[in-house]
Amino acid sequence: MTSNSTNETDTLLGYGDLLRFSALVQNRCGLHFPEKRRAEFERGIQRAFAASTCADMDEYYRLVQDPNSGAVHLERLINALTVGETHFFRDAAQLDVLYGHVLPQIIERRRPLRTLRVWSAGCASGEEPYSIAMLLRELLPDVDEWTITILGTDINTEALDRARKATYGNWAFREERAKLWQPRYFRRKDKRYELVPMVRGMVTFDQLNLAEDCYPTYETNTMYMDLILCRNVMMYFAESTTRQIVERFYSALTDGGWLVVGHAEHSLITYRRFQTHNYPNAILYRRADQPLLPRDWHWLSPPAKDKPIPPVALLPVSQPPAEHVDIPVDTQPLLDLSREELSEESDPVEQARDLLDYGRSEQARDLLLELVESRPRDASLSALLGQAYANLGHWQKAEYWCRQTVRLDKLALDAYYTLALVLQHQGQLDPAIASMKKVVYIDRHNVLGHFGLADLYRSNDQMSKALKSLDNARRLLEEYTGDELIPGSGGVTAGSLRETIIRQQQKWSAQMSKL
């Protein structure tokens, strides 16, 4: 068995790599990673690089900028960099305020028309908007007689796909309210939990980059919102971008509408147009014509000639205002699942899959290494270990576990696919091609197999075979809708992959004609 040293890596990112990738993602999609989030940034780049057929970081950097084939790989890179960890009813203090004050107030205001609009901006895998849907079902006995819009948006296509499937592992139910309501709103499906249709149908999802000036508009369905939640999202953006986002949120809200942000994202300046409402362990913002600031923020307001500084907004009797609210200065910590947090009923293999999905490859590796000690002939464990080590850039260990998998299971398609990428990263083109061929032999309809084989053939100067593999992938994509995700692709949509293939075919055909 191999060592699990956390310091060893076969692909090191230099400071220059971090600088150029940082500039790239900020220019393309507004994402900003300061020094304190460097480790997270590195992990995301490593994960996306591992899913490519590039031999080194220079080639990968050129690839994501390539006008012909870069769109697919940039999409995958963005997904790897924006893996949001969340769970149902996260941040109990904020949810208590929403349940006990904000949502009842909105309901009372909207009762004459029975319409209500909520936007979860940066919804990740859907737990937040679905939590709001469950709260509304609890608060509204006549909920089905209302016209309720709950919109979940995110830049991460892979996360949105998980949100639409609405199937979750046990660790998504860590909050007490989630555990209490789980039997009411979820049904057991194999080793996971599926949200009931009556809640699932209340939420719609769409891709949206908050850094772009495309909202609020009718086209994006982001107008006239009663409540916007954007928690632990704006830490991905520079301060100037955050201010622009908050201004657009202000325009997207109805008068009297509410904005909820993460604990680490409060700012005296950024939210000055909003009324500021203090609750025990929670601060919320409300749109109004005249901002209402706390007394000790009076220096932000223009000097009043005759009127005193307005007091903090009144709270319901059941929730007295807090004398002091502690706001953490650091961003939300990365997911760190302790053994106590993992239910005894949870399947550890499913836990490992969840960890990999959320970019926590180190934790997945450590959990899998413990499991494989007692289950050395479990091909599913060794396949996941191969993936974890590949995500970390540990090519030799990834190769070992992939080969261990195919020794146990000759039809382990995912292991052959990962092995092909790992061998390519190590400069072993012929063995990489042989492994990728096995992927398409096992599953002739595997789009990624044909697409990957095309890249490998091109790298090996076999252009006619590369074009044939591209054509196979393009024909298989006819079975997909444009916004449908390719399974196992890291969030690549069929539409973007189809466009990339067409451009590659044109470019490679032109190159062949010159030979």
For range 56-76, the mean pLDDT = 88
313-368 confidence digits (pLDDT tens): 333 333 333 333 333 333 333 344 444 444 445 678 888 888 888 888 999 999 99
Say whether pLDDT at 8 is over 80: no
* Residues 6 or more apart in contact with residue 58 via CB below 8 angstroms: none
Region 443-467: mean pLDDT is: 94
Q: Using an 8 Å Cβ cutoff, are 22 and 16 in contact? A: no
Does the pLDDT value for residue 290 go beyond 70? no
Distance CA 103, CA 187 (A): 26
70-81 helix and 157-165 helix, angle to the nearest 10 degrees: 70
Specify the CATH architecture of the domain 348-513.
Alpha Horseshoe (1.25)
* Higher local confidence (pLDDT), 70 or 252: 252
pLDDT band of residue 2 (cuts 50, 70, 90) is: very low
Q: Is a pLDDT exceeding 90 seen at residue 311?
A: no
Mean pLDDT, residues 253-259: 96
- Domain 15-81 sits in CATH at 1.10.155
Average pLDDT, the chain: 85
323 close to 354: Cβ distance less than 8 angstroms: no
DSSP-derived 3-state class of residue 322? coil
Q: How many helices (H) and strands (E) does the chain have?
A: 20, 10
Does residue 385 register a pLDDT over 90?
Answer: yes
For 447, how many CA atoms within 13 A lie in the half-sphere containing its CB? 20
pLDDT at 295: 46
**How much of the chain exceeds pLDDT 70, in percent?**
86
Q: What is the DSSP letter of 99?
A: I
Predicted pLDDT of residue 511: 85
pLDDT in the model for residue 319: 39
| Band of residue 11 on the pLDDT scale cut at 50, 70, 90 | low
H-only helix segments in 335-428: 348-357, 361-374, 379-391, 395-408, 413-425
CB atoms within 10 A of CB 201: 11
First to last CA, the chain: 48
Nearest Cα neighbor of 63 from 76, 74, 47 is 74
Nearest to 29 by CA among 288, 237, 265, 335: 237
Domain 92-300: give its CATH superfamily: Vaccinia Virus protein VP39 (3.40.50.150)
pLDDT at 328: 33
Beta strands 225-230 and 115-121 are parallel
Q: Provide the pLDDT for residue 313.
A: 35
Q: Where exactly does CATH 1.10.155 map onto the chain?
A: 15-81
Q: Where are the alpha helices (DSSP H) in 173-324?
A: 176-185, 197-200, 239-252
Give the pLDDT confidence score for residue 100 in this predicted structure.
94
More confident residue, 358 or 63: 63
Tens digits of residue pLDDT in 127-177: 999 999 999 999 999 999 999 999 999 999 999 999 999 999 988 998 999
Which two structure tokens, joined as six digits, stand for 31? 């994402």
Residue 386 has pLDDT above 90, yes or no: yes
Tokens 């109004």: give the residue.
288
pLDDT for 513: 80
476: left (phi over 0), alpha (psi -120 to 50) or beta: alpha
For residue 12, the model assigns a pLDDT of 62
Q: Of 355, 377, 358, 376, which is closest to residue 366 (Cα–Cα)?
A: 355
